[in-house]
Structure 1
Amino acid sequence: MIDAHCDLLYQLWRHDYNVNQSDALQFDLEKWRASPIKVQAFAIFVPDTTPLNQQFDVALKMIDLFYEKIVLPNPDIIQIQSKLELENLQPHQLGAILTLEGCHPIGTDLNNLVRLIDEGVRIVGLTWNNNNAVSDSVMSIEGKGVSRFGEEVIQLLNAEQIWTDVSHLSVRGFDDVIDQADHVIASHSNAYRICQHRRNLTDQQIKAIIKRDGLIGVTFVPEFTKSSDFVSIDDLFEHIDHFIELGAEDQLCFGSDFDGITNTISGLENVTGYHRFKKELFDHYSRRIVNKISSENFIRKFPRIN
């Protein structure tokens, strides 16, 4: 199985947690190895409260943590930068992918994004919940779309064969990405028809991603799943059912958002919950569909070949 989004790097930067095992983490290396997740995407998430002149340095620090804590000390963990590397993972190996959640750390300097791509970033979210020089976010009152600088960012991502991530993006920004980006992903978003949260995708947006042969990461954020104090795995299946009913079985993957959330779905309190989730997936859907959304869709669409 593959997970397209977690915030472990943010937690390691913010706290002195033991990456090997910590009860405070929903994702650590012990839990990862005990789970069915074969490949995990690790987001570089710089809080927007970080002073502007320090944001890019914090992003680089999170990359250092990725190498120092996750990749270099663990021979079984391989950094994934291409589809070829993804396909060549051995049975005893795990894959780790760097992603960027929000372009605010690059400011208005395209060279900063080039640096992050050179370090291995393979999914780039244009915004988090804050506006930046690339685009407004879904939380913006004005909801402006992609700026002229943002167009340059998308052109670079196209040239470098990198996913453009629309999760957190304004509605107008989403439409701009659909028009301009070669490789579209919503790394951690659910269906608005099922749960009316502004971070979720409308039917029109889902159909647009289907038309572009993009990817949608079903997320485990409780408030994106159901407007209730208690959220179960069955509630998550309502979203998957809806995506499939709209024709998105070739677009689905998972983007848990572990360590980016405080509340959790019952049975999915941490990454080891994927065992139960996987079993229930097979109870609900055919093996063909489960295999697609567990890993095949993600691998097939990985933009950079080698």
Structure 2
Amino acid sequence: MLKIFDAHCDMLLKLWQNPAADPWDGAGLHTNLKKMVSHGAKIQSMAVFAPPELPLVDAYRAAEAQIQILKDKILKHHPQFKLITSKNQADQLKNDEIGLILALEGCDCLGHQPEKAAVFHNQGVRIFNLTWNYANFFADGALETRNAGLSKYGEKLAEAIGELGGWIDVSHLNERSFWDVLEKGKHVAATHSNCHALMPHPRNLRDSQIQALIERDAPIGITFVPDFTSRQKPSIAKLLLHLEHICSLGGAHHAGFGSDFDGIEETIPGLGGYEEYDHLLNELYKRYPADLADGFVYRNFADRIPF
């Protein structure tokens, strides 16, 4: 049976922004529970994202509110969905169960207190992106112009996440912060990034970064963001060129997918929501042997869960 590990979506953000939305079959969601059940989901990373314009206190409240939405609106009423906090739990999911991993997309809500990572870890968060696209107390993001790396707080946070056994997500970091994380961090992943060599966007990874992640045995999630895929007429075929490029760098057993569904306004034709994952997978299995394709779709992330 087909199993999908999607390393990033923003469904919780949409549910927080629209309290009336139904997580089961909400029409305005790229990803909802019904779509996941019907289209092969096995593990889905659920981002917790506090918009960067929020003051610190409000950012903390927004993050906690989104975690509570997961617990109250999803886990409580839909028991086939399970919060995954360890690889053992992921490996023991029953055939009809779907695992959800909490990811903190930007640690702004921690202020300048890296020790607060433990608070969110205790609530189930296992993936930590130190910052979003801009600077905070910990690191500079991909669109930050000052080009700094990790601060002393960021170094402490990277070490704290390592001690907790969490993944540090490098997808939104600028290059200096990326290299600092590889030096200071223990477990790293890129949950939703494409290849700079094919589409030179600041959010995409350069070949040297991809190769460094492969050397660290870190998974890399190709993302469905049109602007990160191609300058003209993004398509599933052009998206798969990013997969092929990672393979050409030695990453055939490290590449996976992190859709960024519900975190994007525009979508690639044929990939308008989780229900259209089938279109991507049909093309994938035409191009690659089944065992290799199975790795892209599930194993390359699932087998590397560090917690």
Is the TM-score greater than 0.5? yes
Report which stretch shifted further, 47-56 or 202-211.
47-56
Equivalent of 1:129, from 128, 133, 151?
133
* Structure 1: unaligned runs, 5 residues or longer: none
Write the distance in 2 (CA, Å) between the matches of 1:284 and 1:251.
17
| TM-score for the superposition, normalised by structure 1 | 0.97
| Pairing 1:142-181 to 2, within 5 Å after superposition | 142-181=146-185
Write the distance in 2 (CA, Å) between the matches of 1:37 and 1:19.
15
The CA RMSD over aligned residues, in Å, is: 1.0
Write the distance in 2 (CA, Å) between the matches of 1:102 and 1:194.
26
**Partner secondary structure for residue 39 of structure 1:** strand
One-letter amino acid matched to 1:160 = L
Aligned to 1:236: 239
Aligned to 2:45: 41
One-letter amino acid matched to 2:202 = R
Is 1:69 equivalent to 2:73 in the alignment? yes
Which 4+ runs in 1 deviate beyond 2 A?
none
Deviations 1:189-243 (A, max 9, x none): 0001111111000001001101111111100001000112x32100111101100
Deviations 1:64-96 (A, max 9, x none): 001011111111111111100000000011111
Aligned to 2:271: 268
Number of equivalent positions = 303
One-letter amino acid matched to 1:232 = S
Is 1:117 equivalent to 2:125 in the alignment? no
Aligned to 2:98: 94
Equivalent of 1:85, from 77, 84, 89?
89
Aligned to 2:212: 208
Deviations 1:251-295 (A, max 9, x none): 111100000001001111000111121121110111121111111
One-letter amino acid matched to 1:293 = F
By how many angstroms is 1:182 displaced? 1.4
The alignment-based identity, stated in percent, is 36
**Partner secondary structure for residue 213 of structure 2:** helix
On the 8 A contact 2:195/2:204 being kept in 1, the answer is yes
Equivalent of 1:302, from 293, 296, 305?
305
Is 1:217 equivalent to 2:210 in the alignment? no
Aligned to 1:245: 248
Write the distance in 2 (CA, Å) between the matches of 1:110 and 1:137.
17
Aligned to 2:200: 196
Deviations 1:131-153 (A, max 9, x none): 11111111111111011111111
On the 8 A contact 1:191/1:200 being kept in 2, the answer is yes
| TM-score for the superposition, normalised by structure 2 | 0.97
**Partner secondary structure for residue 217 of structure 1:** strand
Aligned to 2:54: 50
By how many angstroms is 1:99 displaced? 0.4
Equivalent of 1:254, from 254, 257, 267?
257
Write the distance in 1 (CA, Å) between the matches of 2:145 and 2:96.
48
**Partner secondary structure for residue 23 of structure 2:** coil
Aligned to 2:289: 286
